[in-house]
Amino acid sequence: MPTTWVDALLHKAREKGASPYPHQAAFFLNNPVRRALSKPGRIVDGIGLTGTERVLEVGPGPGFYSVEIARRLTYGRLDLFDLQPEMLQKARRQLEQAGFHDVGFTAGQAAEGFPFPDNTFDAAFLAAVIGEVPDQRACVRSLGRILKPGGQLVFAEAFPDPDRISVAQLRDLAEPENFEFVDATGNRWRDFVRFRKAASN
């Protein structure tokens, strides 16, 4: 059991892929250098929200993108789903400090299905998460169930995440699960990849 953020990061490095990014080291995710380089607002703009959507963010960690998503949902609603309740607590703090109180928080394992009804969400956003999920196919299948037909499934993957997966791997995961590839933008340092749930099975 890691006791400090150093132990936690070393443990994560040894267990690459199989273990979640440790909540003890959450401050690294929210650091100002990352914020300046990756511009979370610009990334969230890429989802193309109109402001009325129901959005699920899977693996928000301490909320690096969550505040930017909430800011764009004038009449919509954001739900956060993360394996680690400690991460949800940190994200809640960020959101409340920014004045966003109508956000859902659910702790759970994304590989074991999401506790939401069918066809609930207009968009699901996963940044630096899918590579940590033990059964990625099950996760994507379950997202297909809770997204509305035509709903968006959006991935952001970036260096230096050791669990980063490629656009080709994302397509291999999503396309067999009834998602249509929309586009992929980025460069060698980052990928932003959008899929749309097919209108019918």
Ligand X SMILES: C[S@@+](CC[C@H](N)C(=O)[O-])C[C@H]1O[C@@H](n2cnc3c(N)ncnc32)[C@H](O)[C@@H]1O
H helix or E strand, kind and range, residue 72: helix 66-72
- Using CB under 6 A as the binding rule, whether residue 92 contacts ligand X is answered as no
Give the shortest CB-201-to-ligand X separation in angstroms: 25
- Positions 18 through 57 that interact with ligand X (CB under 6 A): 20-21, 29
Among 70, 110, 123, 174, binds ligand X (CB under 6 A): 110
Among 25, 53, 61, 152, binds ligand X (CB under 6 A): 61
Token pair listed for 40 = 């979370």
List, in order, residues 6 or more apart from 196 with CB less than 8 Å away: 150, 151, 152, 153, 179, 180, 182
CA distance 83 to 19: 10
39: left (phi over 0), alpha (psi -120 to 50) or beta: left
Q: Tell me which stretch binds ligand X (CB under 6 A): 47-55, 127-135, 147-155, 190-198.
A: 127-135
Q: Tell me which stretch binds ligand X (CB under 6 A): 1-9, 114-122, 128-136, 141-149.
A: 128-136
Give the shortest CB-90-to-ligand X separation in angstroms: 9
Q: How far is CA 87 from the centre of its chain?
A: 13
Give the shortest CB-30-to-ligand X separation in angstroms: 7
Total residues at interface with ligand X (CB under 6 A): 19
Backbone angles phi, psi at 103, to 5 degrees: -125, 140
CA-based max dimension of the chain = 48
- Using CB under 6 A as the binding rule, whether residue 60 contacts ligand X is answered as yes
Query: Could you tell me if 43 and 65 are in contact, meaning their C-beta atoms sit under 8 angstroms apart?
Result: yes
Among 89, 109, 120, 169, binds ligand X (CB under 6 A): 109
Cβ proximity to ligand X, 56 vs 110, nearer residue: 110
- Using CB under 6 A as the binding rule, whether residue 133 contacts ligand X is answered as yes
3-class state of residue 201 by DSSP:
coil
Give the shortest CB-26-to-ligand X separation in angstroms: 8
Q: Checking DSSP bridges between strand 54-58 and strand 77-82, what pairing results, if any?
A: parallel
- Where along the sequence are the contacts to ligand X (CB under 6 A)? 20-21, 29, 59-61, 64, 82-84, 87, 109-111, 127-129, 132-133
